[in-house]
Amino acid sequence: MLSATESKQVGWFVADAGGFALYRYDKDTAKPPKSNCDGDCAKTWPPVLVGEHTMTSGVDPTTVGSVTRADGKKQVTIAGWPLYRYTGDKKAGDITGQGKGGTWFAVTPEGKKAQANDGAAPAPGDGY
């Protein structure tokens, strides 16, 4: 399950069925889709693998696809960008991988990098 979720930290982002943030990696490519996170990288940033069927909520299903990884497994993509979880996120709603190494970003429902203040204006008193 891929679902659009909103946070004060990054605005709209995509979460998995457990509510954990999903990320995209700037060293991957979307056209054509290619994952460049293998080995130790994939231990810290486990790829989101294709299940029997991927349901969506708030995510356009026509933007969801897959790419075959170097190990032959199929990884879920949004707008061509391979998706990952981050082992540093310990509970639903954590977005501790945001901006890691300047290359990891929570992914928006459109496949873009989630950014604070991306669209909605912050409410007064939100500390902005």
The predicted pLDDT at position 55 comes to 85
Q: For 59-92, how does the pLDDT look when each residue is reduced to its tens digit (9 = 90+)?
A: 999 999 999 999 999 999 999 999 999 999 999 9
The predicted pLDDT at position 54 comes to 76
Indicate yes or no: pTM above 0.85: yes
Type of residue numbered 69: R
Residues in a beta bridge with 107? 113
Question: Residue 22 and residue 56: Cα distance in Å, rounded?
Answer: 13
Q: For 16-50, how does the pLDDT look when each residue is reduced to its tens digit (9 = 90+)?
A: 999 999 999 999 999 999 999 999 999 999 999 99
